[in-house]
Amino acid sequence: MEIRHLQYFKAVAEHLHFRNAAASLFISQPPLSRQIRELEEELGVQLFLRNNKRVILTEAGKYFASSVDTIFAQLEESKNITRQIHLAADSGELKIGYISSVYQPHLAEILKSLRQVFPFIKTSLYERPTIKQIEALEQGKLDVGILRAPVRSDKLEVQTLFFDPFMVVVPSVGNIFSDTAALADFIKDKPFIFFNKEYAPHYHDKLVEICHRLGFKPDITHEVNNVHSIVQLVEAGLGVSILPLSLKQQYAGLQLSFAELKDIPVTTEVVLAYKKSNLNAALKWFIENYNNK
């Protein structure tokens, strides 16, 4: 059995028409029919039922079709991995996804160190929400993602980076809150600025949970798609927000006040996600070193 036998079988199984299948393969019909007969003789089974009006797969043919699809998918992945190994020897590209709500100076330091080890590597950064990153990682459009759990995909490996508690972010007006109750009383009637629910549904649920623990339901007046817009709107006095504590250092220079929620045991898990089959050498270095810098 040769690859061409599988290719010819796949074409007939998809078209269920010998003439159309032959046309898609740029061959004439007789050689195609001959190859299918050879395949059936080698397997000792009938793969197609055919007459003058139609062609259908037998039960054995249906099973073989699914197996052939798997074989070609594995073959394509093997080709891609082989190319990755070749390119990653000392050059190539590392495609990194990240969410806006991570401490980006840390990522910049990692990339500087990566450049020293792989001086010819090209790094491409894509700010994407968790949902979009998972899809891109599964499709091979990203090599690695920095995102927030949960990552619901059986195709990806997930490595915990850290658990991030939350803080309240308000305009800088010299507020000093004696305790969590005083903080809750200050923000409960304020308009909230937060991520769009469809953009970050799990993150949105965290906000609602925290507010419920503080004893009120948030009035989410403004919804945006990145953390930079959130802090700018808060600084402009359009409302308040609740964000991961790790962002405090990144936005310390803005006219904002930050209040930690030490009595609210709600955290968000920041993770790395990637395909285990991706053998890019730069990716391996990135995974091993990201949490050690």
CATH number at residue 115: 3.40.190.10
Domain edge (last residue) among 67, 86, 105: 86
Tally the domains of the chain. Answer: 3
Task: State pLDDT tens for residues 90-139.
Answer: 557 899 999 888 767 788 889 999 888 888 788 999 999 888 999 999 99
Task: State pLDDT tens for residues 183-235.
Answer: 999 999 999 999 888 878 888 888 899 999 999 999 999 998 888 999 999 99
Do 78 and 9 belong to one domain?
yes
Do 27 and 74 belong to one domain?
yes
Domain edge (last residue) among 86, 106, 130: 86
Do 218 and 140 belong to one domain?
no
Task: State pLDDT tens for residues 42-86.
Answer: 889 999 988 877 889 899 989 998 888 888 888 888 887 776 666
Do 172 and 200 belong to one domain?
yes
Do 252 and 214 belong to one domain?
yes
Domain edge (last residue) among 30, 64, 86: 86
**Span 7-34, average pLDDT:** 89
Pairing of strands 157-171, 256-260: antiparallel
Do 219 and 175 belong to one domain?
yes
Do 172 and 247 belong to one domain?
yes
Question: What domain range includes position 140?
Answer: 93-160+270-290
CATH number at residue 247: 3.40.190.290
- CA 109 – CA 142 distance, rounded (Å): 20
Do 101 and 75 belong to one domain?
no
Do 199 and 182 belong to one domain?
yes
